[in-house]
Amino acid sequence: MPISVITAASAGTWTLGDLTVNRIGFGAMRLTSTGSAASDRDRAVGVLRRAVELGVNHIDTAAFYFSPLRSANEIINTALSPYVDDLVITTKVGPGRDPSGEWLPLARPDELRGQVEENLRQLGRDHLDVVNLRQHGLESVAEHFGALADLREAGLIRHLGLSNIRPQHLAQALAIAPVVCVQNPYGVDTRRMHDQFVRTCGEQGVAFVPFFAIAGDAREAGGVAANTAVQAIAHARGVTPAQVRIAWTLSRGPHLLAIPGTSNPDHLVENLAAGALVLSTDELASLE
């Protein structure tokens, strides 16, 4: 596909509540994981602005995405404020880090308002479009999700989602308030035992937003996970393994939203171009 026609709209759209987003968005975690030179921060700002120019209108972030020198939320604010009307910024609460970067215990329900307000301050917003409760180790998310539902009623949050959950958590949350998205690790070779849960989300009109779909088990280390079938398709089609992985993600259903992240402007264009890559039945079968 010629670069001149590459756009995030090539893979179609989905609605998060009353907000329409292109199915390829942008994950902000990588913005803080490059080197320490000031030019890297400038490049991150440039990548965000270029992403929006190319039609990205769904950005995934969190207040706990920060390094010793950079904060993803602050970079988003610097690059994109004042925000265009159709830009949807999704953040997540639950985990937290102290100023030195050390992880804190999962926030209590009564601490979630402070985390929401931290995101509001950093992003320069008066409300958050989508807030995901990212859980860890909870048998029930009801109390935590209920606290966020109260903040939704108060006007601080527009829509609610869930992250890092088990299937029963979705039912617990839906009994309290609408859920517009689920963020879980999922990819060609990552957590495939959740195939049915992915389908269940689609049946209930809930977007499924995989993370680590490109890095696989490498997780925060970044890069593209090695996979012989992925590499064979990439070679045959003249595309990158990351593009094959994004195309596979989008093939799993119209409710799948991809949020590949990068601080490299060339990789940004490649990721968005994957929205126009349609894998054949045989190629999809080889990835199973």
Q: What amino acid positions are annotated as catalytic residues?
A: 65
- Taking alpha carbons only, the member of 145, 66, 59, 61 closest to residue 103 is 66
Q: 204: which residues sit within 8 A by CB, 6+ positions away? A: 170, 174
Give CA separation, 210 vs 79, 185, 192, 198, 215, in Å. 25, 5, 11, 10, 11
Give CA separation, 248 vs 44, 63, 74, 84, 164, in Å. 27, 29, 32, 30, 21
- Taking alpha carbons only, the member of 179, 171, 173, 181 closest to residue 207 is 181
238: left (phi over 0), alpha (psi -120 to 50) or beta: left
Dist. CA 17–CA 204, nearest whole Å: 12
How far does the chain reach from its first CA to its final CA, in angstroms? 27
Helix (H, G, I), strand (E, B) or coil at 231: helix
